[in-house]
Structure 1
């Protein structure tokens, strides 16, 4: 008879193999470095006897056929301390043999003692499972945004996804964009043009991890439901975030007014001629547009083709007037036995996605060769 139990070190080879096949879609065996990172992120970070933990589904023959990775996260709701379970790495093998294994695994995790469970990377099948267990998927957290900066470079990058050899043409595409960018005025859906605006009264500078950590509590304060990270926890997350080889160089910057007052920050990854991946945009209320404009100018100056990231309700109004395109690729799903928490999220007053999720881990965007 199959069972669901806590994930332990003996399961690492099987879980790494699942990750390689189901999420990375690769036939090659999982590397030792992948196994080591799964141990680091899901076992070494777990406190002894903490029931909010990753689980595996084990078939009657003893083979691990499912895994749901859980990262405990401290949160607060209007000052009340809470515990959340970030349920990101969800994968099941052998659906034909046991079509309900995934649902049983998810139900087991959601029945834990946490106040709130969520994932920001739920595909359509997983989202259906979550919904059957009375989870919500608020649209204002479920969209991805895209802002094209250099159309020739962006088109080449999309084509290079099918034919990698085309990437040798990146310098040419950037030059074409530079020449064509001198024509015309104003912004368009297919092109970004740096223009004089209110954001020029602000600046953005490279931030140390310590500077960013010190600023986070102030930027989180306006949200009713928000993470309650300690400085040590944030420091650990940023250490993990330093390397995402598939996404490019990490860029961490703080936006300041002329007085020197910090008003926001952003964290993204990218290289010249490529599509940058934005993990986090944070801003004081009313200054979201300023921080977004500084982000776009910074990426443009780095010769990036485009930027993409995950929507947060607090950013939507500012994005709507700045030629962003929106698509649905995966869902942010949330489950709680406390209706007031879900109501708060549905109203857009919770801080989720990016750092408040799985975006800081190396499992998203890094190589394990």
Structure 2
């Protein structure tokens, strides 16, 4: 028999050990950084809500055999404050069948107004559908803007654990030079930034200033405060060693008018991963173009991001590739919230989910700190 209950600080070493053994190296000894990371993100972060806690499954003998991370978010829909449970990393000991389903069911039955996850696997889709969860169709796809095709292939192989030799990478770089001269094969040059479009670092204060007018642009949007954004930016930076430099930019047009902003991971020579792209006007194109031009100037192989409904037209107009991505899932009894989640006038991005978090990507290769 197993009992489902909220995570406590005393559970953290056992949870980290379970994560290490089941989802990472197979060792029962987790790196110290992972232990600290679980405590920091699940117990100490500004987003922690005691009503929507991370959960563990504990056997009668005290053994932790399951864990579900919780990263609650606050949003507003037409001015109404809502609590959203972000269902994070789920891990279960194979010796305890059914634990993952029990943890998920318990979490979905919490007091939150809605529950989301954006890193779902095929197995998670089947489980959520059994529990009356829904697939968010558009955000379950990703758009790609290929800049250097050979390098993009090499980066994708590396991301899948199949690193490409330095010799092949050099050959690929040469092929990229030729490919960029033949736009029809899909490696079209990045758009030249407009003379009247500039960018500056996106700070916590600048983002809060922009979000103060969020109701004019979006019916559903994050309800950020300074503490949450400081924590969020710090955790994004903490993942940078594995995902690449965090690029945060506020984009301005003629006369200094704010056009929008973007936040992305930019690994050197790799694939830039967009976490949030927001436009304060009806057309996100200029912000997207600035992002792609910035990535191209950095030597990126490609740019990719989740297919948010608000970006669909801009992505289509720029002939970006669209491919399946991790499943984005949602659960709520409020049909109004469910409809708003996938509306064009919604700002709820990967940055507000758990896809980018570092439980499974940090402290690899023998780094134990």
> Do both share a fold (TM > 0.5)?
yes
> What's 1:326 paired with?
322
Aligned partners of 1:217 and 1:365: how far apart in 2? 34
Summarize deviations over 1:59-87 as a string: whole Å, max 9, x none. 23321111111112111121111111111
The answer to whether the aligner puts 1:356 opposite 2:352 as a matched pair is yes
Q: Indicate yes or no: 2:190 matched with 1:194.
A: yes
Q: How does 1:77-92 map to 2 (within 5 A)?
A: 77-92=77-92
Asked if 1:212 is matched to 2:210, the reply is no
Runs of 4+ deviating beyond 6 Å: 46-49
Aligned to 2:153: 155
Shift of the 319–159 alpha-carbon distance from structure 1 to 2, 3 Å rule, reads: same
Q: Deviations along 1:79-118, whole A, 9 cap, x unmatched? A: 1111111111112122xx4432211111111111111111
| Residues 1:118 and 2:99 are matched in the alignment | no
Question: SS of the residue aligned with 1:259?
Answer: helix
CA distance, structure 1, for counterparts of residue 6 and residue 122 of structure 2: 26
8 Å CA contact 1:84, 1:114 repeated in 2: yes
CA contact (8 A) 1:219 1:264 kept: no
- Checking the alignment, whether the CA contact within 8 Å between 1:264 and 1:283 is kept in structure 2 is yes
Alignment partner, residue 103 of structure 2 = 105
User: How far apart are the structure 2 equivalents of 1:348 and 1:286?
Assistant: 10
- How many angstroms does 1:221 deviate by? 4.5
In the aligned structure 2, how far is the partner of 1:324 from the partner of 1:49? 39
- In 1, are the aligned partners of 2:147 and 2:301 still within 8 Å (CA)? yes
SS in 1 for 2:133: coil
Superposition RMSD in Å: 2.6
Is 2:52 aligned against 1:56?
A: no
CA gap of 1:277–1:365, structure 2 versus 1, over 3 A, is farther
SS in 2 for 1:193: coil
Asked whether the 8 Å contact 1:240–1:360 carries over to 2, the reply is: no
Distance 1:339 1:238, change over 3 A: same
1-structure distance, mates of 2:342, 2:66 = 30
Whole-angstrom distance in 1 between the partners of 2:255 and 2:246: 27
TM-score, normalised with respect to structure 2 = 0.89
When residues 22 and 109 of structure 1 are mapped into structure 2, their CA distance, relative to the original with a 3 A threshold, is same
CA offsets 1:183-233 (integer angstroms, 9 cap, x no match): 34xx54630313458x45422333334323432444574222222111221
1:229 to 220, 224, 232: 224
Residue 337 of structure 2 corresponds to 341
SS at match of 1:246: helix
Aligned length: 363
Whether the 8 Å CA contact 1:170–1:273 is kept in 2: the answer is no
> Which of 122, 141, 144 is residue 143 of structure 1 equivalent to?
141
Following TM superposition, by how much is the alpha carbon of 1:257 offset from its aligned partner in structure 2, in angstroms? 0.3
1:300 Cα deviation from its structure 2 partner: 0.4
Partner deviation per Cα, 1:218-260 (whole Å, 9 max, x = no partner)? 4574222222111221122112111321111111111110211
Aligned to 2:70: 70
In structure 2, the CA distance between the partners of 1:291 and 1:53, relative to structure 1 (3 Å rule), is same
For the pair 1:37 / 2:37, whether they are aligned, the reply is yes
